[in-house]
A and B are shown apart, each in its own frame.
Chain A
Amino acid sequence: MKLTRRYEFSASHRLDTPALSQEANRELYGKCNNPHGHGHNYVLDVTVAGSPGESGQIASRAELDAVVSERVLARYDHRNLNLDVPELCGIVPTTENLAVAIEKALSANWPLPAKLAGVRIQETDRNIFELESKG
């Protein structure tokens, strides 16, 4: 059985890789390459798996919220992803890379009895990325 909890954070970013020329970056990333960056209201779904025990809950909502808040929201919300989030420095903050970074931040020494099953991130309503967690 799985339980999914939804969170939101707002952050700015710019997509630009030093591996390519200015023109190639412009061509590849389009408006996402604008030099001063731009922002999104990201929607993050965190899914855990397990069995509801005596409490009837796979995971304590308060404990799950605390983990996601401490490891992700407090560090990502109202930040510049290129500059303010250490694990993303030097990495193009595409939503794919964001999903990888967030899954890693959550799965390292995962503290809850329920297993981390995966993360899903919406950059906008039209772009959605999912990553299964290996725990």
Chain B
Amino acid sequence: MLLTRRAEFSASHVCAHPGWSEERNRAVYGANANPNGHGHNYILEVTLQGEPDPVTGMVFDLRELKDILNEEVVDPMDHRHLNREVPPFDKIVPTTENVAIEIWLRLAPRISRGGVKLANVRLYETNDLYVDYGGE
């Protein structure tokens, strides 16, 4: 069975590879490379896979899941500048893909236990762009 929990955070970022020229960054990332940054209301959908516990009837304690999402993602990222305030994005370009991978790396060790595993991280940067990451 799949369980999905949604969370939101708003953050600013700049997409520019530090090793590339301004022209190349502009060509690859377009307006996302504007040096002073811009922001998004990110929507995160975290999907867990497992079977309901025979006693509690739950795949995962939703209150605990909410706390994990807050501690690992919302608290450190909400109303922050990703490049300046949220490692590893001082070194890694915070594209939607890389933010989704980082969220996976933060969540997987805290969620995968017993018969439960993190199945998917879906991250919407805008209504018309999202990425799915399932660990590979």
Q: Give chain A's interface residues, CB within 8 Å of chain B.
A: 1-7, 52, 54-58, 60-62
Given contacts A52-B98, A54-B17, contact A2 B93 (CB under 8 A): no
The number of chain B residues touching the other chain, given as a range, is 20 to 34
Q: Give chain B's interface residues, CB within 8 Å of chain A.
A: 15, 17, 28-30, 92-98, 100-101, 127-134, 136
Cβ contacts under 8 Å, B128 to chain A = 5-7
Write the nearest CB–CB distance from A8 to chain B, whole angstroms: 9
Contact of A56 among B15, B30, B127, B129 (CB under 8 A): B15
A55 close to B131 (CB less than 8 A)? no
Write the nearest CB–CB distance from A9 to chain B, whole angstroms: 13
A56 close to B133 (CB less than 8 A)? no
Cβ contacts under 8 Å, B130 to chain A = 3-4
Q: Bound complex: CA of A114 vs CA of B132, how far in Å?
A: 14
A-B contact pairs, 13 of them (CB 8 A): A1-B131, A1-B136, A2-B133, A4-B132, A52-B98, A54-B17, A55-B29, A55-B95, A56-B17, A56-B94, A57-B28, A61-B129, A62-B30
B131 close to A56 (CB less than 8 A)? no
Write the nearest CB–CB distance from B27 to chain A, whole angstroms: 9
Q: Bound complex: CA of A61 vs CA of B28, how far in Å?
A: 9
A4 close to B98 (CB less than 8 A)? no
Write the nearest CB–CB distance from A108 to chain B, whole angstroms: 24
Closest to A43 in B: B128
Q: Bound complex: CA of A56 vs CA of B92, how far in Å?
A: 8
Residue among A2, A6, A60 with most chain B CB within 10 A: A2
Given contacts A57-B95, A57-B97, contact A3 B131 (CB under 8 A): yes
Q: Bound complex: CA of A58 vs CA of B98, how far in Å?
A: 10
Cβ contacts under 8 Å, B131 to chain A = 1-4, 58
Write the nearest CB–CB distance from A41 to chain B, whole angstroms: 14
Given contacts A56-B92, A56-B98, contact A1 B132 (CB under 8 A): yes
Q: Bound complex: CA of A45 vs CA of B7, how far in Å?
A: 22
Write the nearest CB–CB distance from B25 to chain A, whole angstroms: 9
